Amino acid sequence: MALALLLGGCTVGPNFHAPAPPAAFRYAPAELPQQLAAGGQSFEIGGTVDKQWWRLFGSPQLDALEQEALTRNADLAVAKAALDQAREVWLSGRAARYPTVQVAAGGSRSKDSYTLASPLSSNEQSYSLYAGQFNIAYVLDVFGGRRRQIEALGAQAEAQRCQLQATWLALTSNVAGAVLQVASLNAQLSAARANVATLSRALEVTRQMQRLGELSTNEVAAAENALEAAQQAIPPLRKQLAQTKDLLAVYVGRESAEQPTLNLSLADLRLPPRLPVMLPSQLIGHRPDVMLAQANLHVASAQVGVATAARLPSFNLSASLGGISTAVGTLLSSDNAFWSVGGSVGETVFDAGGLRHQQKAAQAAFRQAQAQYRGVVLLALQNTADVLAAIVQDADALDHAAKAAHAAEQSSLLAQAGLAQGEIGALPALAAQSAASQAQLALIQADSARYGDTIALFQALGGGWNGQGGLTAKAEKPGEGANP
C-alpha cells in the first residue's frame, strides 16, 4: 500500500505541449506595400486588433447593432450555455481526485418469530434497531488515468471556449458585413435613381427634338429603352436590401417585422487608416479555429494516457465506521461501534486484446489530431494571405475605378451639353450617360470591396481575441494543473 501511495504521482501517457508556432515572418513571398493606392490606409506590421474593432468604422448605428447582437443573438447564447456545460462537466470530473464520503442513518421496528433466534444479545423478539454509518472510498490514481481523464475534460472545456469565440467572431463580422451591405445597396440605389432621373430628362429632350424634326423615331425608341433598362435595375437592389435587413434582424435577435431601421450609406462610414498585420507566430494564438484545433489535440493526447492507464492495475481503498443499537442514545457508544478497513487491487489478465487496441486507437486519434492541427494552421495562414492580397489589389482597383468614374462623369456632362445644343445625337449622349452610370456603380462596388476587405482582415486576425485569456475566465482555467 505504501508503494501504491508513492506511485500516486505517476502519470502515464504523453505530457501535452503546445505545437511550435510557424517560423515564417510574412504571409507571401513579396513584401507588403507601405501605403495602399487608395483608401488612405497603410499596414502596421506587428500590430494588434482592438477587441471592439467595428468602432474604427466610425458608425454609431453599427456600434449599437453590434452591442445588440452580442446581447440578444441566439447562436451566441447557445455557445455560452455549451461552455457553461463543459466547465461544469470538467469541475464534476475533478471531484474524482478526492475520496467519496457517505453518511447513512436508519431505524426500524421488528418482531421476529419465536421459531428463530433473536439477532440481539438480549434475545428479545420485538425490538427497535438504529444504525449510523460513515463510509469512505478512494480509488488510488496510481498511473494517472483519472488525472488524464480530468485533463481531457479540461481540454474539452477549452475547446468549447474557443468555439464560443469563433461564434462571437463570426457574429460580429456578419453584423458588420450586413451593415456594409446595406450601406452599399443604399448607395447603389441612389446611383440607380439618379441615373433614371438623368435618362428621363434625356428622353424628354429627345422627344422635343423629334417634334422639331431634328431627331428620328429610332433615337426616341433608344432613349425609352435606356430608361426602362435603368428602371429595371432598381427592383433587384430593393429585394437584396430587404433580404439583407431581414438577415440583420436575425443577427441582432429580432423578428423580421422588427428589423432595425438603417439610414446608412458608404459616406457614413470611414476606412480605418491603419491595418494591423500580426506575424504568423502571433496569429495562431489569436485565431479561434487554430486554438480549437490545439484544444482537440490536447484532448487526444490526454486520451492516450487514459487508454494506457486502463491496461495497468487499479487500486481501491475503503473504510467504514458506525454503530448499531436498540436505542438512539447508545448508538455511538464503544460497545455498539463497528468499523472496517480494506483495500483491493485488480488487473485485467485477458480481454482478447481489447484494451491494447483501445490504446492503439487513441494513439491513432492523436496522430490524426496532429495532422488536423497542421492543416488548420496552413488554412489560417492562407486565409490571412488571401485577405492581405485582396486588400492590396482592391486598393488598386478602387483607385482606377475612381479615376474612371470621374472621367465618365465628365464625358457624360459634355455629351448632355452637346445634345441640348444639337451638336450630337441622342444615341451618343445616351451611351455616355450609360458609361457614366456603369462607372459610378463600379466605383461603389470597389469602395464596398475595400470595406469588406478590412472586415475580413479583422476577422482573419481573430477579432482582437487572445487565446490565453478567455471570455468567461474564472478562478482556474480548464486545463491548468493537468500535467503535474
pLDDT digits 0-9 by tens, 313-343: 999 999 999 889 888 888 888 888 889 999 9
Q: Which set of grid coordinates corresponds to residue 120?
A: 440481539
- How far apart are alpha carbons 188 and 237 in whole angstroms? 8
Residue 265 · residue 183 · CB < 8 Å: yes
Instruction: With H, G, I as helix, E, B as strand and everything else as coil, classify residue 476.
Output: coil
Q: Which set of grid coordinates corresponds to residue 100?
A: 467519496
Q: Specify the higher pLDDT residue, 325 or 455.
A: 455
Instruction: State the CB neighbour count (10 A cutoff) for residue 327.
Output: 11
Nearest to 252 by CA among 419, 484, 87, 68: 68
pLDDT digits 0-9 by tens, 9-44: 578 989 999 999 998 888 888 888 888 877 788 999
- How far apart are alpha carbons 416 and 426 in whole angstroms? 9
- How far apart are alpha carbons 264 and 32 in whole angstroms? 32
Instruction: With H, G, I as helix, E, B as strand and everything else as coil, classify residue 116.
Output: coil
* Residues 6+ away with beta carbon under 8 Å from 16: 151, 155, 297, 298, 301, 302, 482, 483
- How far apart are alpha carbons 117 and 112 in whole angstroms? 8
The pair phi, psi for residue 233, each rounded to 5°, is -75, -15
pLDDT of residue 9: 56
479 Ramachandran zone, left/alpha/beta (phi>0; psi -120 to 50)? left
pLDDT of residue 329: 83
In sequence order, the β-bridge partners of residue 322 are 133, 338
Angle between helices 145-211 and 426-460 (to 10 degrees): 170
Query: Does 469 have pLDDT greater than 60?
Result: no
Full DSSP string of 275-319: EEE--HHHHTTT-HHHHHHHHHHHHHHHHHHHHHHTTS-EEEEEE
Pairing state between β 126-140 and 100-111: antiparallel
Q: What is the DSSP letter of 140?
A: E
| Domains of the chain and CATH, by start | 28-100+153-317+356-460 (1.20.1600.10)
Stretch 362-387: mean pLDDT:
96
The pair phi, psi for residue 47, each rounded to 5°, is -75, 165
Instruction: State the CB neighbour count (10 A cutoff) for residue 90.
Output: 22
pLDDT of residue 38: 77
Residue 147 · residue 124 · CB < 8 Å: no
Percent of the chain predicted with pLDDT > 90: 60
Q: Is the dihedral of CA 424, 428, 430, 432 positive or negative?
A: negative
Query: Does 347 have pLDDT greater than 70?
Result: yes
Query: Does 295 have pLDDT greater than 70?
Result: yes
- How far apart are alpha carbons 108 and 326 in whole angstroms? 9
pLDDT of residue 455: 96
Percent of the chain predicted with pLDDT > 70: 94
486576425: which residue's cell?
461
Burial class (CB in 10 A: 0-12, 13-18, 19+), 11: buried
- How far apart are alpha carbons 468 and 477 in whole angstroms? 9
Full DSSP string of 347-396: ----STTHHHHHHHHHHHHHHHHHHHHHHHHHHHHHHHHHHHHHHHHHHH
| pLDDT category of residue 472 using cuts at 50, 70 and 90 | very low
Q: Which set of grid coordinates corresponds to residue 358?
A: 483501445
pLDDT digits 0-9 by tens, 81-118: 999 999 999 999 999 889 999 999 998 888 888 888 88
- How far apart are alpha carbons 195 and 341 in whole angstroms? 93
